Chain A
């Protein structure tokens, strides 16, 4: 027998899609009755409605992999790649359409923190309830009870209904219960996407402990920093297929490459034109000058701008950097910062801007690009001319991912060189004396 704890063979899951916008999620009885009656009399067509508006959608196709005992595996993929479906099948919430999975151990899944919390029950009662839902026995919960309470820091509120908890307390309690599960196989989905930065760090620490304890962990997250520091293996899913399986470092790199696919960018867009100029294309380039949709913070930010000009003198262009909330956070200017203007011979040009390295927080960004008549008026203004994303922002290789969504702003302010501490002595502060 192999030492694989999870074996997945040719797994497939098919959903039936209905292409009707106004359709509600559940089926109306009337439709089924109509089709059943039709089936009774007409040419024996299958009872399920077979109109053209339905289509089979394979959320997972032919997925096969093996996971060894004690491995911590990250499952990476874009939204809709099939990650959640895979986890749902592994945790037996839904059945596969074909293929088989062999699990050699007790499985506990954590697809959402606080599943089954009841708002009317007290913290104490909810610990037992949630524990049972996650598969712990009462004796197990009792033996971990103090640890859970200490982890969640809710000692004072144990006998308060959780509906009166702050959202932070709620999440801490929920994660606390989940983190103290002790199955052989733990399945975790996106649970780290909650709580403040401090709490996320605590969760990551706990996840570290869990993975060191020799348990097999399957982990889905968009937090690449957490992925990098926690997992040893990675599986990349794309459109329902496994496209890569190997070490987590390589998997993350593969995923990054996958997201960079240039085909999603149209080369030339019709953005209209100004009086003298027209901006034709704005592209972000990677280190080897290929178009990309991802920016790696700490590297030069290379932009390629294609424009046409009628040769008027005294033209400049400006680039605004906007964060995910569409707030302008930076400006680049050809004339104001560099004293240059656009060429005075009419024609189409490409200009390459190589901006100094920035430590941008992870999240989505966009750029507005405009041409202007220097000190007078704007000429051609294109909003969201270029959009890109920062997947992971961890200055100096720390495991914490600095995200835009924390609300700490989009820029990491970093110290240059060593950080030194010298003893403070009042007599030496000459500046104040004079």
Chain B
């Protein structure tokens, strides 16, 4: 009499087959959870969303003072050092925020996970997307800084979205892996801040990649954020900071592998989340 009713079969191991369809089906929940995180983020703060800009701005000021004025590091070419640092801090802070938020996201939504069904991927992916909002604001800040220094980027800026995509994939891959581990082994709560702190030193934030000794270069290039940051500098700063194909290739490969591995591991452990969280 009615339109054919959707038939759903629940079996051990069955969830695999309907997963991607479900993900599409639950897209509205995805929007609304992301919207919730954005709305809630700066509730009950006085200056609100200004925090998204103030934090990276202060970091840029400190980096410029410490590395440029005190340690006498210089940016290549005639680029102001503040811009050189901003083009690195902005993607790095996006990665750090997205990665930490995603890693803790399942635990902070444990009530939801143990009471309602939806593809769990929505939650960490939502946190990464939420971090994009802050990221957009800091990009606007970068534009203002460029105006201040009277610096105009060239055609290379058009390729910036590709590097943003890479940063997104890296944060998602690492975040998915860590949040799945976090559900079962709470040890990783303590590992995440450490990775973020450590990552800042092994990524070219305060310095340029050319300062890395050649014999360590292959190891250094494995860091996905090296490609992202160098790419940002290349795209924003008229190519003044050279982007080596080797660096880009190796960090891009690692990013793709990380992302694929993150999704695979997350999917593998996902069905037990409700039982162990």
Contact = CB atoms under 8 A, between A and B. Distances in A.
Contacts of B186: 26
Contacts of B32: 128-129, 132-133, 138
Contact of A93 (B13, B36, B40, B114): B114
A132 B28 contact: yes
Contacts of A89: 10
Given A27-B184, A121-B40, A94 B274 contact: yes
A96 B12 contact: yes
Contacts of A132: 28-29, 32-33
A29 interface: yes
Interface string B108-142: 00011111111000000000000000000000000
B219 interface: no
A305 interface: no
A15 B275 contact: yes
Interface string A82-94: 0000001111111
A95 B271 contact: yes
Contacts of A99: 11-12
15 contacts: A26-B276, A29-B185, A94-B271, A94-B275, A95-B15, A99-B11, A102-B7, A103-B9, A105-B5, A118-B40, A120-B39, A120-B43, A121-B39, A125-B36, A134-B116
Interface of A: 5, 15, 25-29, 32, 88-107, 109, 111-112, 115-116, 118, 120-121, 125, 128-129, 132-134, 137-138, 161, 184
A346 B241 CA distance: 107
A55 to B, nearest CB: 16
Contacts of B78: none
A98 B12 contact: yes
Give the size range of B's interface with the partner: 35 or more
A106 B40 CA distance: 31
A109 B274 CA distance: 15
B48 to A, nearest CB: 13
Contacts of A121: 36, 39-40
Given A15-B275, A120-B44, A138 B184 contact: no
A129 B184 contact: no
Contact of A28 (B14, B187, B276): B187
Given A26-B276, A96-B12, A120-B43, A129 B36 contact: yes
B175 to A, nearest CB: 18
Given A27-B185, A29-B187, A115 B8 contact: no
Q: 4 closest A-B pairs (Cβ-Cβ)? A: A92-B117, A101-B10, A132-B32, A100-B11
B213 interface: no
A128 to B, nearest CB: 7
A95 B271 CA distance: 6
B150 interface: no
A116 B111 contact: yes
A184 B116 contact: no
A110 B77 CA distance: 63
Nearest to A30: B187
A133 B116 contact: yes
